Amino acid sequence: MPHSASDASPAGATARAPRTLRQLIAGTWQPGDGAEIVDTNPARPSEAVAVGQLAQERDLDRAVTAAREAFPKWAATPHPVRGRILHRTADVLDARAEQWGEELAWEEGKTRAEGVAEVRRAADIFRYYAGEALRPVGAVFASSRAGEQIQVIRRPVGVVAAVTPFNFPIAIPAWKIAPALSYGNVVVWKPASAVPLLALRLAEALVEAGLPEGVLSLLICGGALGGRLAEHPGVDAVTFTGSTSIGRGLIASCGRLARPVQTEMGGKNAAVVLASADHDLAAAEVVAGAFRSTGQKCTATSRLIVEDSVADEFLDLLTKRVADLRVGDPLDERTGMGPVVSLQARDEIQRAVDAGAARPGVEILTGGRPYDDDRATGAFLQPTVVELAGDDELWREELFGPVLAVRRARDARHAFDLVNESEFGLSAAVFTDDFRAVSQAVDEVDVGILHINSETAGAEPHVPFGGAKHSGYGPKEQGRAALEFFTRTKTVYLRASGGDGR
């Protein structure tokens, strides 16, 4: 099949013609059967990044049928051979990192540097899962009978539906698709409709690396068809990252179908700055955690808890740094923070900040106002820090944008209680050099990922990723944890005939 589904890239950053979107179904690149889609640049929403046609029900059926047909052969392909394809995918991603990272920034709104780093991260993830072919994937146990051993082997689950969010257009798909394929599954993938171009790029990389037909299908479509994909009778398991409301809907529908599902959902992640912290380090990390990717990470720092005795001093340092962030076009190398993903997201977040500012006990320390310069036409928001006197919606609800809510705590105990005061439990950060406080945090902070003296975001490919409480459901992602979701065990009692003396 042809390797490339889209137009050649422009020679320079200035020549940006919209790219052409294609679906990848049953091994062929084709337009969808549905309505036209125009993918726009959040920094300049009148500018088209890519255009194409959405997938429809018929496309979905064809993709799932092709996946079912491709599954037995792919599952029977030796793991090292599958691994080589993943390795080559990583090489393609590395080779295109600059170009595709720039497209990522253009399409999604994070800075160019973050975009390039994300494509490289996707390459690292593919390389890790290529290496799974060389690691043990089962276990051998003793049997109570002579002449017998018990093997616990792992088999792929089958056709996996992957539904991925806009905020990491290539890294999150990589950490679902790479383990799925490595362990012998086939995938039908519905990326967020805000970032179809980067989805296309990842699919191109896999095809260029030699992925056989039907092993991955890409459906660029709306949410309703994504829901039908998850419920399709030809699908065996569903992996999802995105909003809490959609994730819960999928948990319910998969529960009805008795279908394995893994969801990674919201966060309201807290950073705690204790009196003993290195303030410069803490301020730099909190700014990174709260405002990189314009705060649009499920792992972003959206709550800050500062020990009372140092709060004035620390907040002064922090708000100065935040006010110094340069907000603008993500493709401008000097930009520190780009827009949020859409005008709709911008308006919803601004409304929540405005409503909060009108409540007693809510004080905006920096930011909080709409732009009235040339950024007003883009999806830009000011990086915002809001201090709260007590509990408030801004303390509880995930805004998914550049808004940091602050409260003061009497001491470490009080601070950790405030961290745990959330329905979510994805990640947390504690800044201190007090060993007692560190061990207390390790024991008591109820999250899936805890950082000591580093920001709340970030995930290395070889360790488990996922949250506690309502942040996630089902087995964790990444590292060897991915085996739990993307394979099932088969316990084999293995005896040579004539064993056990009978």
Residues that are catalytic: 264, 298
DSSP one-letter string for 267-323: --EEEEE-TTS-HHHHHHHHHHHHHGGGG-STT-EEEEEEEHHHHHHHHHHHHHHHH
Q: Quick one: CA dihedral 423, 424, 429, 433, positive or negative?
A: positive
Is 241 among the residues that bind ligand UN1 (CB under 6 A)?
Answer: yes
- The encoded tokens of residue 425 equal 């439990």
Is 165 among the residues that bind ligand UN1 (CB under 6 A)?
Answer: yes
- The encoded tokens of residue 280 equal 């410069």
Is 178 among the residues that bind ligand UN1 (CB under 6 A)?
Answer: no
Cβ 20 to ligand UN1 shortest distance, Å = 28
CA dist 427 and 284 (Å) reads 18
Is 418 among the residues that bind ligand UN1 (CB under 6 A)?
Answer: no
Cβ 289 to ligand UN1 shortest distance, Å = 9
Nearer to ligand UN1, 299 or 382 (CB): 299
Does residue 274 contact residue 381 with C-beta atoms inside 8 Å?
no
Is 458 among the residues that bind ligand UN1 (CB under 6 A)?
Answer: yes
Q: What SS3 class is residue 262?
A: strand
CA dist 399 and 295 (Å) reads 9
Cβ 253 to ligand UN1 shortest distance, Å = 21
Cβ 298 to ligand UN1 shortest distance, Å = 4
Nearer to ligand UN1, 272 or 310 (CB): 272
What single DSSP character describes residue 131?
A: G
Nearer to ligand UN1, 196 or 466 (CB): 466
Does residue 92 contact residue 209 with C-beta atoms inside 8 Å?
yes
Cβ 167 to ligand UN1 shortest distance, Å = 5
Q: Quick one: CA dihedral 439, 444, 445, 449, positive or negative?
A: positive
Is 349 among the residues that bind ligand UN1 (CB under 6 A)?
Answer: no
Binder to ligand UN1 among 41, 89, 299, 471 (CB under 6 A)?
Answer: 299
Cβ 72 to ligand UN1 shortest distance, Å = 32
Strands 487-495 and 148-156, sheet pairing:
antiparallel
Cβ 263 to ligand UN1 shortest distance, Å = 11
Is 239 among the residues that bind ligand UN1 (CB under 6 A)?
Answer: no
- Per-residue mark of binding to ligand UN1, 246-285 (x: CB under 6 A): ------------------x---------------------
Is 168 among the residues that bind ligand UN1 (CB under 6 A)?
Answer: yes
Is 470 among the residues that bind ligand UN1 (CB under 6 A)?
Answer: no
Range list of H helices, 14-78: 57-76
Residue 372, classified by CB atoms within 10 Å of its CB into exposed (0-12), middle (13-18) or buried (19+), is exposed
At residue 467's C-alpha, the angle toward residues 464 and 473, to 5°, is 100
Residue 50 phi/psi, 5-degree rounding, is -155, 150
Residue range at the interface with ligand UN1 (CB under 6 A); choices 131-139, 292-300, 310-318, 383-391: 292-300
- The encoded tokens of residue 324 equal 């110094």
**Chain position carrying tokens 């024991």:** 443
Q: What SS3 class is residue 347?
A: helix
What is the number of residues in the chain?
502
Residue range at the interface with ligand UN1 (CB under 6 A); choices 55-63, 209-217, 389-397, 455-463: 455-463
Nearer to ligand UN1, 269 or 319 (CB): 269
Is 297 among the residues that bind ligand UN1 (CB under 6 A)?
Answer: yes
Nearer to ligand UN1, 243 or 440 (CB): 243
Nearer to ligand UN1, 132 or 264 (CB): 264
Binder to ligand UN1 among 130, 225, 298, 399 (CB under 6 A)?
Answer: 298
Is 459 among the residues that bind ligand UN1 (CB under 6 A)?
Answer: yes
Residue ranges in contact with ligand UN1 by CB under 6 A: 165, 167-168, 172, 241, 264, 297-299, 457-459
